Amino acid sequence: MTNAPRAVLAATFAPGDTAVPAVRRFTREVMTAWAAMPLFAPAEQLAGEFAAQVTEVPFEVIWSHLGNGVQIEVRRKGAPGLSLDAPSVPVDEWGVTFAGEYRIHWARLHLPGSAERVAAEWSTERHSRGPVWLGFLADASDLLAGTLDPDMVPAIISQIVVPRLATWCAVYTWSDDGGPQRPAYLWHTDERRIDELREELATAQIPQSGGSMQLGDSQMLVIPLLARGRALGAMCLGRPDRFAEDIFQYAEDIGRRAALAMDNARLYATQAAANRALQRSLLPPNEPGEIPGLDPAVVYEPAGETNEVGGDFYDLFAAGDGSWRFAVGDVCGTGPEAAAVTGLARHTLRLLAREGYGVAAVLDRLNQAILDEGERARFLTLLHGEIKPVPTGLDVWMVSAGHPEAIRLRPTGVVDTVVTSQSLLGVFPEATFKAELVHLDPGDVLLAVTDGVTERRQDGRLLDDDGGLAKLLAECVGLSARAVAERIRRAVQDFASEPSADDLAIVVLRAR
């Protein structure tokens, strides 16, 4: 199905709504790493189309660099009789093959130009910093700035300098624990020699201070990767003849830009991981257990590729004496300040509920607690309720502190607003709150959302304009709580083509 590849990059993806965007993002990083800019758009579209045809099972995406082209393979288990659509972008070849229990959907794209042409162009002007050098440096800077994935930066570095500056390149990244030196990425103009090169490097001690040394039949030039006063690794260039002085200058230029890109990617990854960990800590630790008379469902999606800590949160927990509490809230803003108020609100709700305070009393005290934060305070909208099973269904005592209205769906298809909005939290010290009783008969559905749902925007129009959310809920008669939540989530996603810039939380409570 394919020639021997010069390089292979692969990743595994879980099924779901985030799979296609993740595959497209991975493809952009692969094309960037391989400097295959002419294929940037068609490769991304092709990968997205193939990924969109995989449902319900994990799958692997494998990109192979064939020298004069690239090839994608999307591998999944089973479904031998499933028909697949042809690519909408022009491809050299495409097809479906089977290997054991795996079905492989593949296609090949032609890559204009070749490594030999690039090397020839470079060698004609290597004696001066002419147009080729300036264009090369600009392209290198763009490529290095084009990814914030720390694992992709070494691949980009290697494929920038080969074959322009060297026959091969090995990029090392220094570990904090002082572990053995192993290259994070290897690239050679002759892919058949990569394993041989790896064996030679396994016995070499790379000087962290840089310099020149002999490795087998190659002269090796070691360029330290230094950024912000820290040694991050080394870029090792090799060629069978000696390096000219101008090559050393070029390599130092690339090394400075590469080190900064590597440091930025590490900082970005560290921040993203911290954001995700903090976001998880602000959400309930697990799903609630069986609740008598209630079928609940929750959908929560933080906005942004890095899952920046936002202000939306939800909770559903046992409060004692056979009652349950739920909450849906939205803190103004994002980042650490919003996270501080989010954590304060969620933990205060749980603590006071288990101390026996009613929903109105809880909000009175939470309002004062937020105001006591002083300059760090952020105002908060919150819908908080207590659920009590009764012989005729569920009694729900609720308070809405400036939150988007909660709505109820009857089995007849009638939708109505069930609670009056009161003061925001964290704004007025004198604010007091009053709980309202809402009764849910068997089959009734209560829907509570954050403004990531109601204020989803497309061409100046909001999803909730003209009662849009109520109309969506009216179409959910007879559905389970999970089905209702998924129906609302899909409607939010499909309402606009752009990714949402706001967090989204949906809580559905259905009386049984």
Question: What are the structural domain ranges in the chain?
Answer: 7-110, 115-277, 284-511
> pLDDT value at position 335?
67
Q: Which CATH superfamily is domain 7-110 in?
A: Histidine kinase-like ATPase, C-terminal domain (3.30.565.10)
- Pairwise pLDDT comparison (10 vs 375), residue with the higher score: 10
Question: Is the Cβ–Cβ distance between 105 and 73 less than 8 Å?
Answer: yes
pLDDT at 468 over 90: yes
> pLDDT value at position 130?
52
Bridging pattern class, strands 230-239 and 461-462: unpaired
Query: What percent of the chain stands above pLDDT 70?
Result: 87
What is the rounded average pLDDT of the residues 66-90?
78
pTM of the model: 0.59
pLDDT at 158 over 60: yes
What is the rounded average pLDDT of the residues 65-85?
77
**Which fold does the domain 284-511 belong to in CATH?**
Phosphatase 2c; domain 1 (3.60.40)
The alpha-carbon radius of gyration of the chain (Å, integer) is 29
**pLDDT per residue as tens digits for the range 291-326:** 889 999 999 887 755 555 567 889 999 987 889 999
What CATH architecture does domain 115-277 belong to?
2-Layer Sandwich (3.30)
> pLDDT value at position 163?
80
> pLDDT value at position 177?
61
- Pairwise pLDDT comparison (183 vs 509), residue with the higher score: 509
Of the chain, the end-to-end C-alpha distance in Å amounts to 55
| Res. 509 pLDDT band, cuts 50 70 90 | very high
Question: Is the Cβ–Cβ distance between 199 and 155 less than 8 Å?
Answer: no
What is the rounded average pLDDT of the residues 110-138?
55
Contacts (Cβ under 8 Å, ≥6 apart) of 485 = 297, 298, 299, 506, 507, 508
pLDDT at 506 over 80: yes
| Res. 121 pLDDT band, cuts 50 70 90 | very low
Helix (H) or strand (E) holding 118: helix 115-124
> pLDDT value at position 115?
47
Question: Is the Cβ–Cβ distance between 453 and 298 less than 8 Å?
Answer: no
What is the rounded average pLDDT of the residues 33-61?
86
- E strand intervals along 252-373: 294-301, 312-320, 323-331
- Of 315, 422, 335, whose CA–CA distance to 376 is shortest? 335
Burial code (b: 16+ CB inside 10 Å, e: under 16) for 178-198 equals eeebebbbbbbbebeebeebe
